[in-house]
Amino acid sequence: MTKLNTMATAGELPDTAIMSEAGVLQWASQGMLADISDMYGAGESKPLDSLAFRYQGKVVAYSVANEILMLYYNKDMFDEAGVEYPPLSKEDAWTWEEFIEVAKKLTKDKNGKTPNDPGFDPQNIVQYGCLVENLPWQLETWAISNGGGYYSKDGSEVIIDRPESIEGIQKVADLHLVHHVAPLSTGATDDSIQRSIIARTCAMGTGGQWNIGTCLASAKEEGLNYGIGVLPYMKEKVTLCTGGPNVVFNQTKHLKEAKEWLKWYAKEENSWGLIESGIWMPTLEKWYTDETLMRKWVENPNFPPFDEYKKCVIETAKDMSITRSASWYYVNNTNDFNDLLNSILGDVWTGRTTAAEAITSNIEALKAAFRGE
């Protein structure tokens, strides 16, 4: 982004680029991005609607890849505890309370006792039931699932101080503080899967689909027996999707050609190595509806079994009733907001303060960050 800013000032931007997700709305608001709403014509397979970055009703970017948040688990740890595997479909998704109860059965202290057993020692836990990633952008999942969110659906106002939003965030903190089923996590690093099911410190972990390619395929080769599942829910069944955005800069002298190039570049066959490895998911609708294309994408050793992946990932990703675009698709200044929120919530994770106290006492600063002040 620093380099792009320098190039923009000098009038030397390229025709197209892949940008940081959080930079799109900022650049669009400054008139730097072209409207690419007409890049796909009638009858063509377009990117999933959840992957369109919009500013003032116009599409200013499409993600070059799709990613959704989901649940992973260590099958061996479930088998050892005699616990049923997590559900694969939204219809069977666990409630938050069911998720906690399963996590309790998978949590053990040094004497092998669970939180359900008399004499359980929460100060000497050797295996946790779960780890819910609490990076700010992923944490919003739970504020939304509890009936709130960080922002209104149209992105026009901050709603993180609503009781539903606060309660959803506190419920994540209470996995560690109250229920003793999750380790302390400070929301600082995006490595929940490495720290949980791969390291065998936790039986379940939430993370992005990209983990299949970035760490789980290699861990599988080394003996990890893992499975996938849909996220549990509080009040609403929801997951977030994201993906790096491709843009056309308004400085281009070749708008028609730039859009033609970008449309070609975004074709799945041009990123096949990333898709086949499990790091990226396709963007075009046809890859979520045509089973021949689905099998071409998924039926390889890097992925979980096709039927499981189709039910858990593909069906979820194309279901707009459950999959929500991450907030940077429709809200500006999300980087500043998330950075501030991360610092505000630090003491919530350790129990020094509550989500209600932390958020309400800093709400004006959060609203200022939202406004870009």
Domain match, 83 and 212 both: yes
In a domain, 322, yes or no: no
Domain match, 281 and 269 both: yes
Domain match, 50 and 137 both: no
Domain match, 112 and 230 both: yes
Instruction: Report d(CA 186, CA 188) in Å as an integer.
Output: 5
In this structure, are residues 191 and 174 in contact, taking their beta carbons and an 8 Å threshold?
no
In a domain, 323, yes or no: no
Task: Quote the radius of gyration of the chain (alpha carbons, Å).
Answer: 21
Judge residue 312's burial from the number of C-beta atoms within 10 Å of its C-beta, 0-12 exposed, 13-18 middle, 19 or more buried: buried
Instruction: Report d(CA 46, CA 284) in Å as an integer.
Output: 5
Domain match, 77 and 193 both: yes
In a domain, 60, yes or no: yes
Q: Judging by DSSP bridges, how do beta strands 16-18 and 125-131 pair with one another?
A: unpaired
In this structure, are residues 288 and 309 in contact, taking their beta carbons and an 8 Å threshold?
no
What is the number of structural domains in the chain? 2
What pLDDT sits at residue 2?
Answer: 87
Domain match, 39 and 163 both: no
**Domain containing 157 — which CATH number?**
3.40.190.10
In this structure, are residues 64 and 283 in contact, taking their beta carbons and an 8 Å threshold?
yes
Domain match, 130 and 7 both: no
Instruction: Report d(CA 179, CA 185) in Å as an integer.
Output: 14
Domain match, 183 and 199 both: yes
In a domain, 227, yes or no: yes
Instruction: Report d(CA 39, CA 79) in Å as an integer.
Output: 49
In a domain, 255, yes or no: yes
Domain match, 357 and 285 both: no
pTM, two decimals, is 0.96
Domain match, 217 and 299 both: no
Per-residue pLDDT of the chain (373 residues; tens, 9 = 90+): 888 889 999 989 999 999 999 899 999 999 999 999 999 998 899 999 999 999 999 999 999 999 999 999 999 999 999 999 999 999 999 999 999 999 999 999 999 999 999 999 999 999 999 999 999 999 999 999 999 999 999 999 999 999 999 999 999 999 999 999 999 998 888 899 999 999 999 999 999 999 999 999 999 999 999 999 999 999 999 999 999 999 999 999 999 999 999 999 999 999 999 999 999 999 999 999 999 999 999 999 999 999 999 999 999 999 999 999 999 999 999 999 999 999 999 999 999 999 999 999 999 999 999 999 9
249 by DSSP, 3-state: which?
strand
In a domain, 325, yes or no: no
Sheet strands (E) in the chain:
16-18, 52-55, 58-63, 67-74, 108-109, 125-131, 202-208, 226-229, 239-242, 245-248, 323-325
Domain match, 8 and 101 both: no
In a domain, 85, yes or no: yes
Instruction: Report d(CA 356, CA 353) in Å as an integer.
Output: 8
Domain match, 226 and 359 both: yes
In a domain, 327, yes or no: no
Q: Which domain holds residue 6?
A: 2-66+243-311
